[in-house]
Structures are given as structure tokens and as C-alpha cells.
Amino acid sequence: MPPRKLREPAMPPSMARAKDEKLRPGWTTGSCAAAAAKAAAKALSSGESQERVTIRLPKKGEERRVEFAVERCEIGEGWAEAVVVKDAGDDPDVTDGAHLTARVSWRDEPGLELDRGEGVGTVTKPGLGLAVGGPAINDVPRRMIQYSVQEVLDSGERGVRVEISVPGGGEMAEKTTNARLGIVGGISILGTTGIVRPFSTAAWAASVVQAINVMGAQQHDTFVLSTGGLTERAAMRLLPDLEEVCFIEVGDFTGQAIKQAVSKGLKRGFFVGMAGKLAKLAAGVMMTHWTRSKVDNSLLAEITREAGGSPDLVREVEGANTARHAYELWRGAGLERAPHLLCSRVAENLREYAGGELEIHAIMVDFDTLEPVGASPGALAETAWKGR
């Protein structure tokens, strides 16, 4: 078969969906933490409880301020505490409704000290751009908290301590991949723009890049990509000797993962998936969201022909409703070679996308059994499945 041109869509699906449906944006945990910190700082300096607070968003070259309601504000001897409730808009965020809490207190030394309280994670592994042992508060939220507090208090004259906490953050973190990345005890305080874009592909892409960075920092050289929980569990059974951090739910962002793996000097990768995603990768589509790319039935028909399928089967596959339907036609016809050819094409495309810098294997698993049914040359010999 002639090589397929590798391609990515011009517009992420989240942008298209948000434009069409006018979904409501929300605020990041970083924005809410900064707002709570500023409200607490104002209460500490004035002695008056705060009901609303305005902060500046961190967009370069543009002064944009937004106002937040303060859910609760208390003042004590040398301290004040404020709470801002996170509104994630129409984004399905596990931290939606979280109570971002900031306690600001005086300290003897000048400067601003930032620390974590209940529900904010501790960094335990390198690769996140944060100090090991420190709070899981990313760089942009740190700056937002600092300049928001300093709009009210001059920490150069009198030092202040800011403690950020999130009641229930430990339970929220269990629904994320934080523990795998070495963030324990709570959530991360995140955000680069201060705004949550609904169904943000950017957030998922960033998490994929972060996962690769953590792997690289721990000097692992083999990574395993899967598109979701089922295929990841299948991958873990196939490659039980790899540490959990090596497995990445890549979603639709295979291209970003491959590029980042090359930049971090990783050497070997596996892609474990089902027919639909593999069919798109075999056609050269590196961003595989269903709203932005379609399965190329002509490619599946070519594979059917190359695998020795009858002319009737080739025509059936060409008219298949989905890649899964095509696979079921292969399985019904006993055309065992076809999934292997599909995986071979995927591995070729991923190697090309990596500029030849990575050893890449592709494995296809069955929808029902999650057992391997196809693999690129040599892939299964590297797995625990090889002796079964």
C-alpha cells in the first residue's frame, strides 16, 4: 500500500463544539485560589470581611480583571481566611464546586511563603517542574497568588504566609492520574490562562505531555499509550514489568505524546488500542477524535485484499459502518492476518511521525475479550502474552 500522509486537524474538536453550542467557560483552580488569597489578604489588612474580590488574569499583553464571590471570610488574631467556590462552567471537571480556601497570616521574615493545606497534593517525583516535597501548585497559579496578594499587601515590608487548601481534595484526586505522576494527598492547583475552556482538549493534551515529562525525569525509556481505561488495563496485563507511570491514557492525543517522547529522549513505545483508533492512525491521522476524523474504509478494504480476503469481503469491508464492523467481518471470515497488517501500518506511521527516533510497536485488542488479536512485527514477543 502507498504511504498515507500524516495529518492533524486544524481546529481541535473542543473549539468546534464550544463554538457551535456556546458552552459556558469556567475558572481554573489557580484563579479561584488566587481570588481566595486576595480576599483573605484584604481581610487581614483591613480587618473587614470580604464578600467579593477582583483579580487579574495572567494573559500577556492584556489587562483583564474578573470578579469572584467570596463564599466565606473569617478573621482571627494575625490571620484571615477566605473561600471561593470553583465554577468549572460546562466542563466536566472533578474539581467543579471545590471550595478553594486561602489562609493568609503574618510572618516575621519578609517575602511571601506559599504552602499547602488539606486537600492540596505534595510533589513526590521529579519531572513536573515543581520542587519534590513541595505543594502541587503550578507555576502560573503561584504567580497569580503572589501578585494578587501583593496588590493588597507589601510582603517586602512585612512577610506573609499563604496556605491553600481544598476540603475533600484527597477524594477528588482519586479520580485523576495524580498519584501516578507522584502527586499525593490531594489535587493540583492548575491553570495557564485562568479560564477553563469547556471540554478542553488543551487540558488533556497538557496532561499527556506532563506524563511523558515525569517518565523522562525518572529515566524510564519505554512508554505505553492507550486510548482509555479498558485498553490501558489490557496493556498493563501485556507489559506487567513496566511501572505504572509508563502507562499513559493518551485519549486522542497520540501525536503530542510521540513528539514529547522524542524530545525527552525516550527510546521505545507501544500503542495498545481497538480497531477504531488504530484504523485512524493507520491512515495517518494523529488526532483521532470522532468529531474531527473518520475511518478510511478504503484503507481497511486494501488491508482486507492484502490479507487474502475474497472480493465479496473486500466490498463488505468497504461498506462497513465502523472500524469495529470491519474487524467483525474479518473475524467472521477467519481473516486473522488483517489485524496484524493494520497494526503494522500504525507502527510505520508512528515511527515516521517520530522522525525515526523511536522504536514503536502497535497491538490491537478485541472489544469483548481485550485479548491481543493483532500486532506489528515483533510486538507480541516483547509482552507477557508471547507464551500463551
pLDDT tens track for 55-81: 999 876 667 899 999 999 999 999 999
Same domain, 41 and 142: yes
Kindly state whether residue 337 falls inside one of the protein's structural domains: yes
pTM: 0.62
pLDDT band at residue 103 using 50, 70 and 90 as cut-offs: very high
Find the domain containing 332 and state its range.
201-387
253 and 267 part of one domain? yes
Q: Is 287 helix (H, G, I), strand (E, B) or coil?
A: strand
Does residue 260 sit within a domain?
A: yes
Would 15 be classed as within a structural domain?
Answer: no
Q: Are 310 and 263 in a shared domain?
A: yes
Give the Å distances, CA to CA, from 284 to 128, 132, 224, 249, 375. 31, 39, 19, 20, 17
Residues 115 and 173 occupy one common structural domain: yes
8 inside domain = no
The three state secondary structure string of 71-87 is: CEEEEECCEEEEEEECC
Domain membership of residue 16 (yes or no) is no
Torsion angle of alpha carbons 281, 283, 289, 292, nearest 10°?
A: 160
Computed over every residue of the chain, the mean pLDDT equals: 87
Nearest partner of 96 among 168, 36, 15, 184, judged by Cα: 168
pLDDT recorded at residue 14: 36
pLDDT in tens, 110-140: 999 999 999 999 999 877 778 899 999 998 9
| Of 382, 368, 386, the residue nearest 270 (C-alpha) | 382
**Mean pLDDT (whole number) for 18-47:** 85
Rounded Cα–Cα distance for residues 307 and 334 (Å): 11
CA distance 251 to 214: 18
CATH number at residue 93: 3.30.2110.10
The percentage of residues in the chain with a pLDDT greater than 90, rounded to a whole number, is: 61
Domain-located, residue 350: yes
Total domains present in the chain: 2
- What mean pLDDT do residues 154-175 have? 92
Q: How far apart (Å, rounded) are the C-alpha atoms in residues 125 and 119?
A: 18
DSSP 348-386: HHHHHHTTT-SEEEEEEE-TTT--EEEE-TTTGGGSGGG
Residues with Cβ < 8 Å from 388, sequence gap 6 or more? none
The strand pair at 222-226 and 268-273 is best described as parallel
The predicted pLDDT at position 12 comes to: 35
In terms of Cα–Cα distance, which of 193, 103, 100, 112 is closest to 150? 112
Residue linked to cell 489557580: 30
Query: pLDDT (tens digit, 9 = 90+) per residue, 189-248?
Result: 988 777 776 555 666 677 788 889 998 888 899 999 998 888 998 999 999 999 999 999
Q: Which residues contact 167 (CB under 8 A, 6 or more apart)?
A: 99, 101, 118, 119
| 96: amino acid identity, one letter | D
Whether 286 and 353 have beta carbons less than 8 Å apart is answered as: yes
Residue ranges of E strands in the chain: 26-27, 52-56, 65-69, 72-76, 79-85, 99-106, 112-116, 119-120, 122-123, 160-165, 183-184, 186-187, 195-196, 222-226, 247-249, 268-273, 359-365, 372-375
Q: Which tens digit of pLDDT belongs to each residue from 310-358?
A: 999 999 999 988 888 999 999 999 999 999 999 999 999 999 999 999 9
Answer yes or no: do 219 and 114 share one domain.
no
Same domain (yes/no): 166, 226: no
- Last residue within a domain, chosen from 155, 170, 196: 196
**169 lies in the same domain as 269:** no
* pLDDT reported for residue 332: 94
Let me know whether 207 and 179 are in one domain: no
Query: Quick one: average pLDDT of 255-259?
Result: 91
**38 occurs within a structural domain:** yes
Give the domain-ending residue among 140, 164, 196: 196
Candidates 114, 132, 115; CA nearest to 123 is 132
Same domain, 172 and 258: no
Q: State the pLDDT at residue 20.
A: 38
Do residues 255 and 167 share a domain?
A: no
Cell of 156: 517586602
Pick from 196, 214, 247: which residue ends a domain?
A: 196
* Residues 105, 221 share a domain: no
CB 284 within 8 A of CB 4: yes
Q: Are residues 47 and 82 in the same domain?
A: yes
Looking at the chain, the whole-number percentage of residues with pLDDT higher than 70 is 88
Res 162 pLDDT > 90:
yes
pLDDT at residue 291 is higher than 70: no
Say how many C-beta atoms besides its own lie within 10 A of residue 151's C-beta: 14
Q: What is the mean pLDDT of residues 169-176?
A: 91
The C-alpha atoms of residue 129 and residue 137 are separated, in whole angstroms, by 10
Residues 6+ apart with CB under 8 A from 115: 135, 161, 162, 163, 164
How does DSSP classify residue 279?
H
pLDDT at residue 10, as a whole number? 33
99 occurs within a structural domain: yes
